[in-house]
Amino acid sequence: MATITSTDETFKKLISENKLVLVDFWASWCSPCKALAPVLESISDEIKECKILKHDLDSQPNIPTAEGIRSIPTLYLYKDGKHVETIVGFQEHSKISSVIKKHL
Q: Is 33 a catalytic residue?
A: yes
50 catalytically annotated? no
Helix axes 31-46, 93-101, angle to 10 degrees: 50
Q: Which residue in 21, 33, 43, 96 is the catalytic one?
A: 33
Q: Edge-to-edge strand order for the sheet containing 20-26?
A: 4-6, 50-56, 20-26, 74-79, 82-88
Cis previous bond, 32, omega within 30: no
Catalytic, out of 4, 20, 30, 88: 30
**Which residue, 62, 43, 31, is CA-closest to 4?**
43
Query: What amino acid positions are annotated as catalytic residues?
Result: 30, 33
